[in-house]
């Protein structure tokens, strides 16, 4: 099952996130993100709307009927509520979870949503979870990971915690146990071949562009 | 002197960053950001373009003439080059440095640029440096700081390093030595009065909305 989680940031315009939406078997919308979806005319096989309901009217909720799941706790945001619901419904075996619409608008939402990738990866080990934006793809990783790639793909690596050390193979500017204290320190690298590898004992967020650097 | 640093992300549309640009005594443009500026018709008293020149043509540079400063090192990005130039030119006494256009487009540029706020604050202690986006204002802080505010202003606090602990006064959900390991953990707080205070021994990025939560 291809599960798409649609958050309430910028609705995507690039082919990659839009194709994920078109090919979804099921879409979980974060609260008012459902309005963007219903306005697009995308033919969605099935969907559910999950959130705290802050940005939906009573009429919205009535119209959604049994497509609406209200989760009132306030410790986590709607993206976390939606992912939790999606994983409890579909499990992580044979499912992929693609998050779209999670960036843009307020920068604090963008930062929060991106960092949830590391939280999801910790909470659901082995789950296939990726975020697609209009500019590239984001995943969380720890340990070793090999990424299929292409020459001049831009790669940026962000530490979730200060002092993370990271090593690489296949990048133009090799990371050799570089200790990351600032988010900008391992950004804007270039891939030199058809794959690259990263290694870190701490959680990292890895951003990769869709297009090679011109 | 009010110095504005214009980065090459989304050109601002909100009054707050646009007023900063209108009221600037001097604008430092990061590389190709100068094209956005020159197309706006804003009347700028004086400006300089600083960067590695990657996104400017030879003709661009020739037309800029002595308004163009090429900095070839690749350890830091164009925002860092521009800020370094601005501070060496104007000093931090009696100057304010307002960064605009630093978010939007690629998320890795957004994250990198935001995190430079902590680097600038470390490199230039006492400098008055703030980032204005279309959604709010961002500053880096460490130690104690009081912010003028208004009820229902949204405040999000991000740790630059894992394990940062943060305490607050004047927020709806008080932070009482909360240890921050994820960027989302201290987001989306509300101010309850006309000011609030934060305290941390680690570097934090503080985001505040322009508008109260509706």
Mean pLDDT of chain B: 95
What is the pLDDT at residue B109?
A: 97
Last residue of a domain, one of A89, A107, A134: A134
Nearest to B111 among A112, A164, A183 (CB): A183
Q: What is the CATH number of the domain that holds A196?
A: 2.60.120.320
Looking at A134, A163, A183, the residue that finishes a domain is A134
Interface check B19 vs A, CB under 8 A: no
Domain membership of residue A66 as a residue range: 2-134
Distance from CA of B191 to the nearest CA of A (A): 15
A109 and A158 within one domain: no
**CB proximity B210 to A under 8 Å:** no
Cβ pair A77:B187 closer than 8 A = yes
| B24 and B117 part of one domain | yes
Assess contact for A78 and A9: CB atoms under 8 A: no
Closest CA to A198 of A144, A159, A152: A144
What does the pLDDT look like over A102-146, one tens digit per residue?
Answer: 999 999 999 999 999 999 999 999 999 999 999 999 999 999 999
Of A106, A135, A181, the CB nearest to B136: A106
**The total number of structural domains that make up chain A:** 2
Q: Indicate if B27 and B71 belong to the same structural domain.
A: yes
Q: Spell out the residues 6+ positions from residue A99 whose beta carbon is closer than 8 angstroms to its own.
A: A4, A5, A7, A79, A83, A113, A117, A129, A130, A131, A132
Residue B154 and residue B128 in one domain: no
ipTM computed for the complex: 0.95
Q: Which of A89, A117, A134 is the last residue of a domain?
A: A134
B7 shares its domain with B48: yes
Q: What is the pLDDT, as a whole number, of residue B155?
A: 98
A97 and A186 assigned to the same domain:
no
Both B30 and B81 in one domain: the answer is yes
Contact A112 B184 (CB under 8 A): yes
What residue in B sits closest to A211 (Cα-Cα)? B106
**B177 and B198, same domain (yes or no):** yes
Which tens digit of pLDDT belongs to each residue from B68-89? 999 998 889 999 999 999 999 9
Of A107, A119, A158, the CB nearest to B207: A107
Residues A143 and A195 reside in one and the same domain: yes
């Amino acid at each position: 099952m291809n599960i798409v989680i649609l958050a309430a940031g910028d609705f995507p315009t690039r082919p990659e996130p839009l194709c994920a939406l078109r090919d979804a078997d099921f879409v979980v919308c974060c609260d008012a993100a459902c309005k963007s979806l219903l306005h697009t005319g995308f033919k969605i096989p099935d969907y559910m709307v999950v959130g705290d309901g802050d940005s939906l009217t009573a009429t919205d909720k009535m119209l959604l009927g049994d497509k609406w799941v209200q989760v009132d706790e306030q410790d986590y945001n709607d993206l976390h509520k939606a992912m939790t619901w999606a994983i409890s419904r579909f499990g992580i075996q044979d499912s992929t979870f693609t998050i779209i619409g999670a960036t843009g608008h307020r920068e604090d939402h963008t930062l929060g949503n991106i960092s949830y990738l590391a939280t999801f990866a910790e909470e659901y080990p082995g789950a296939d979870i990726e975020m697609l934006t209009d500019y590239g793809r984001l995943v969380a990783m720890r340990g070793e990971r090999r990424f299929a790639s292409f020459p001049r793909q831009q790669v940026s690596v962000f530490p979730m915690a200060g002092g993370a050390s990271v090593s690489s193979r296949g990048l133009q500017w090799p990371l050799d146990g570089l200790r990351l204290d600032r988010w900008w320190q391992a950004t804007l690298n270039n891939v030199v071949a058809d794959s690259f590898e990263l290694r870190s004992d701490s959680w990292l967020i890895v951003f990769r562009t869709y297009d090679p650097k011109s």
